[in-house]
Structure 1
Amino acid sequence: MPSPLFADRPAPQAAEPGTVDALITRTRRLRGDVDAVRRDTEVDDSNTLWRWKRALCDLAICQLDQLGSHLDQLKAGRPDAGGASDRPARDASPNRDPAQDGPGPRLGRVGSGEWNLLTDEVSWSEELFRILGRDPESGPLTLDELPSLVLPEDQALLTVMVTDCLIDGKPIDGEFRIFGADSEVRTLHMMGEPVLDTDGCTASMWAVVRDISVLRDGERSLRDSRDSLRREHHLAQTEHRLVAELHDAVLPPWHGSSYPPRSGPDALDLAARRLPATAHPATGGHWFDALELPSGESLLTIGELTGHGVAGASSMAMLLGALRGMAVAGIAPGALLGHLNQLLESSQQPALGSALCSRYAPETRTFSWAQAGHPAPLLFRDGTGRALTPPDGVLLGATSGAAYEQAEVQLLPGDLLVLHTDGDGPTRERLIGLAPRVAGTRSARECAQLIAEECDSAERADAACLMVVRIPGRQGAPG
C-alpha cells in the first residue's frame, strides 16, 4: 500500500528510540496490576456491587489488552495488504489467563484497506477479511458494495462517513455493526482519511477497521451493573422511607418527658431510643410502646420480629395493634402473649418474635410482666443494677398452644427499669456495668441518652430498641 499523503495533517514526527517499547512495558505492567485487582475481588454473583466491580475490571483489562495489541503492531510497523503482521498479539501480559478472555479471538482485531478511485483497485489486509467475515477468494468489496455487510439501521451512517471523506476530505471516525460469520452482531470502529494526489484531489481512501465488540460488550455490562446499583440504592431509600413512615405512624411519638401526658405524683418518667442497624437501616420489626389503660394502669411493652424492611414493619404494626387492643380489654400480660402467639401462628406470613409485655399499677407500684423469649428487664436501685428473674415463656410463633407465666415485682420511688431488645443491642453485663453512671442521671431521657451513646461505639448488624422507666418519687421514700 502506498504511503498516503493525508489531507488534514502534516506527516507525524518520528518517536524517540525505545518509546514504543517503554509504552508496551508499562501497559503490560498496568494490565497485570488490574488483573490482580480483579482476581482479589471476592466472588459473589448474587451481589450487584460485586458484579459492577468485576465488570469495571473486565472493561479495563479489555482496553489495556487492545492498547497492548496496537502498540505491538506499532512496533512491528505498518502492515502490507494481505500480510499477517496486523494480527494482534494475544500475550499482552505475562500473567495472562486465557480462560478469562471470553470471546478472545475478537479482541483487538485490526485490519486495513485502501480504495483507489483512479484505478478502481481495492486492497484489503488479511485481517480485514476476517473482521468483515468475507472469504478472501471472493475478493474485497468496493465502497458502493461495503454497506451491504452492515446492519440496515447502520448503512446510512457508513454511507455518510464515506461520502464526507471522498467529497469533503473529512476524516472517517465512526462505528457500525455487522453480522459476523457466526451470525453474531459485532461492532466495528473505522478510522480513515482521503489520500490526495499531487494536484490535491482525492485519489483514494485508506481506512483502518477495528473489531471493538468485546469493548462495547464490556461497556454495556458495566452500564447495566451500574444501573442495577442505582436501582437497588433507590429501592433501599424508598424502603427506608416507608419503614420510617410506618414506625412514625404506629409507635409512640414521645421521646422522653413524663408519661402518661398528665401531671401528678404518679406520672411515669419514660424515654426510649431506636438504635438502627448499620447494615440494614430499614429494619422494621422492632418496637416499644407505652399506653395508659382504662384501669389507670400503664401498658409497657417492647419486642422484635424477624424480617426486615416493609414486610417486617407491617408485621410489627399488625402485632402491636392486636397487643394494644387486648391490653385495653383488660387481658393480663401472660394471657396476652398467648394470644399473640396464636395470632402469629395463623398469619399468612409466619414469623418469630420476642416480646416483653407488662402493666404498671401506680397505686401499688406493682410491675406485672411476662416475656416471650425476651431479655428480662434490668432494675437499677441504690447505684446497683440486676436483671429480674424471668417467668417461663418461649418465642412467639415457635410452638402451638404455648403458655406464658407472669411475674410481679414491687418497685420503689426512684427505681429505674431498662427494657431492651436483644439483637446487637446493649448486653445485660454492659448495661449493669453502667449502674454508677445511671444513678447520676436526673431523668429517663438522660439515662436513655447515656445508654444510646454507650451502644453507638460499635457497628450493629441488627437494630435494637430500649426503653427507660423511672418510678416517680424520691429514692428511698416509703413504698
Structure 2
Amino acid sequence: MPSHLFADRPAPQPPERDAVDALINRTRLLRGDVDAVRRDTSVIDDDDPQLRWQRALCELAVHQLDDLGEHLGQLRDGIPHATTEEPTGEATSADPAEPPTGSLLSRVGSAEWNLLTDEVSWSDELYRIFGRPPGAGALSLDELPSVLLAEDQPLLTSMVTDCLVDGRPIDGEFRILLPDGGMRTLHMMGEPVLDGDGCTASMWAVLRDVSRLRRSQHIMGRTRDTLRRQEETARTEHRMAAELREAVLPPWRDSPPNRGGGTSGLDVATHCLPSGSSDLIGGDWYDALPLPDGKTLLTVGDLTGHGIPATSAMAMLLGALRGMAVAGVGPGAAMGHLNQLIESSAQPTLGSAVCCRFDPQTGTLVWAQAGHPAPLLFRNGVGHPLPAPDGVLLGAASGVAYEQDQVALLPGDVLVLHTDGLTRRSRQGAGPDMLLGLAPRFARARTAKDCVRTVLEEFGADRQGADSCLLVARVEE
C-alpha cells in the first residue's frame, strides 16, 4: 500500500474501469434483493429468537454489501488525497455523530504521519469520522491514543511500534470516543513508507468506520446465542418431561398385572405415539389399574400445553384418579373431583378424559367422560362409538355434574380408548371413521397387542399430528 505522497515506487495500475463497474452493478442488484428480504423480516414477532436471528443476518448482509460496494467504488475512483487544508462548504457542517450511509467518503479516511517533518495530514473524511473540527488540527501519533478507549490504547501503540520499528503492516481495530460521548469502531490498515535509503520516512494508513458492521455482528451473535440457549432449554425440558411421563405412566405395554386376587377378564395393550412436529411432550395419559375389589380402571386423557407444566399436571390428575378408583369412587364422581382439582390448582388448564370401570364378574363397563372422544366398541367385525353421557372439559366450568353410563361387554369384544391426537394423524383426514374401519382386522386379531399393531400400521407412520395415547382392552373369552 504505497503512500500517495511519499512513496518512491510506482503505484500499481488500476483494473479496467468497465470490469469494476460491472461488479458494482451486480453488487447493487444483490444488495437490493437482500434488502427486500430484510424489509419482509421487519414485521416479524420480536419474541421469536429464530426470526430475530434471521433479521440480524439480513441486516449484517446489507451492511457487508454496502461495504463491498464502497470498496469497489474506491477501487474504481481511487483513494481521495489527504490534505492539511481546512475543508469548506458542506464538509464543515456535516453531522459527526453518524455519517450518511452509502457514501464511501463518509466511512473511509486516510492519514499520513511524516516522521522527518512531523507533518500530519488527514483527509476531510477522517476529521468527520473522528468527530473532530478541521480547525483543531490532525492528531499526531503521540496524541492519537488519547481518543481511544483505555483498553484499546496498548493495541494501537503495539501496531504503530511494529510498523515504524520492524516495518510490519498495520491491520487492526480499535474504538474511539467522540467529543459528543459517542463511540466508533475503526479498522486501521497502513504501512511504513521508506525513503531512498530504505529508512522509514512516514507512516500512511487508511481508517475505516466499521461501527455499523460490528453492531450488526453483535446483534446477530446475541440473537444466535439466545436461540442456542432456547434450544438447549427445550432439549432439557423435553428430556425432563419424557422422564416424568415414563415415571408416571405404567411401565407395562401389555396386560397389567392383576393385584386384585382374581382374573381381570381383560387383555390390555397400550402405546404412546409421539408428535413429529414438536419437540415438546404433551399431557396425554393412559392407565389400566387392577382395583382391590377385582374390577379394573381404564382411563385415557389429555391436558392442554406441552413440556414440564403439562406432564406435571398430568401426573397430579392421574395420581388423584388412581386414588379415587382404589377408594371405590365411581367414574362420574371422579370426573367431578378432577374438575375441582384443576380449578384449585396454581396453574389452571383445560383437559379431557374418559374413565371406565370394568367388572369381570358381570361384564359391565361403567364409564364417564369429560369432553373426550367416546370409547369405540368393536364386536363381530363392526365398530361404533359408545353413546356418551354428559360431561364438559375439565377446568371449563365450575360445579358441573358428570353423568355416567354403563354397557355390557361380551367375550371377544374389543374396546379402544384414545386421545384425540390419534385421529388427527391420518393423512386422509378420515379421523374416527378410519379407526372404525379397522373393525374386520380387530375381529381377526387374537390379542390386544395385535390390535395395537394394526392401529400403528395405519396411524403410526404419519407423525404430523399431536402426541397421542392408545389403550386397547379385549374381553377374554
The alignment's C-alpha RMSD in Å is 2.5
State the one-letter code of the partner of 2:100: P
Structure 1: runs of 5 or more not aligned: 88-101, 474-479
Describe the shift of the 1:359–1:395 C-alpha distance in structure 2 as closer, same or farther (beyond 3 A): same
> What is the CA distance between 1:424 and its match in structure 2?
6.0
CA contact (8 A) 1:419 1:467 kept: yes
Q: Deviations over 1:160-199 (max 9, x none)?
A: 1111101110000000001124422211000000000011
Matches within 5 A, 1:53-452: 53-82=54-83, 105=100, 109-257=107-255, 260=258, 267-423=265-421, 425-426=423-424, 427-452=431-456
Describe the shift of the 1:370–1:28 C-alpha distance in structure 2 as closer, same or farther (beyond 3 A): same
Describe the shift of the 1:272–1:12 C-alpha distance in structure 2 as closer, same or farther (beyond 3 A): farther
State the one-letter code of the partner of 1:201: C
Question: In 1, distance between residues paired with 2:60 and 2:302?
Answer: 45
Question: In 2, distance between residues paired with 1:143 and 1:154?
Answer: 15
Structure 2: runs of 5 or more not aligned: 91-96, 425-430
Deviates more, 1:310-319 or 1:25-34: 25-34
Question: In 1, distance between residues paired with 2:442 and 2:179?
Answer: 79
Q: Does 1:470 align with 2:474?
A: yes
Describe the shift of the 1:6–1:400 C-alpha distance in structure 2 as closer, same or farther (beyond 3 A): farther
TM-score, normalization by structure 2: 0.89
> What is the CA distance between 1:459 and its match in structure 2?
4.7
Q: Deviations over 1:289-312 (max 9, x none)?
A: 111100011110111122221111
Where do 4+ consecutive residues of structure 1 move more than 6 Å? 261-265
Describe the shift of the 1:445–1:263 C-alpha distance in structure 2 as closer, same or farther (beyond 3 A): farther
Q: Does 1:43 align with 2:47?
A: no
Q: Which residue of 2 aligns with 1:30?
A: 30
> What is the CA distance between 1:219 and its match in structure 2?
0.5
> What is the CA distance between 1:235 and its match in structure 2?
0.4
Question: In 2, distance between residues paired with 1:104 and 1:429?
Answer: 68
CA contact (8 A) 1:188 1:209 kept: yes
Describe the shift of the 1:18–1:111 C-alpha distance in structure 2 as closer, same or farther (beyond 3 A): same
Question: In 1, distance between residues paired with 2:278 and 2:389?
Answer: 32
Q: Which residue of 2 aligns with 1:91?
A: none
Question: In 2, distance between residues paired with 1:309 and 1:152?
Answer: 48
Question: In 1, distance between residues paired with 2:140 and 2:334?
Answer: 88
Q: Deviations over 1:92-112 (max 9, x none)?
A: xxxxxxxxxx96636760000
Q: Give 3-state SS (helix, strand or coil) of 1:354's partner.
A: strand
Identity %: 60
State the one-letter code of the partner of 2:470: L
> What is the CA distance between 1:260 and its match in structure 2?
3.8
Number of residue pairs the alignment of both structures matches: 455
State the one-letter code of the partner of 2:414: L
Q: Deviations over 1:210-244 (max 9, x none)?
A: 00000000110110011011001100000001101
Question: In 2, distance between residues paired with 1:331 and 1:283?
Answer: 30
Q: Give 3-state SS (helix, strand or coil) of 2:346's partner.
A: coil
State the one-letter code of the partner of 1:405: E
CA contact (8 A) 2:120 2:140 kept: yes
Question: In 1, distance between residues paired with 2:98 and 2:355?
Answer: 63
Question: In 2, distance between residues paired with 1:429 and 1:106?
Answer: 63
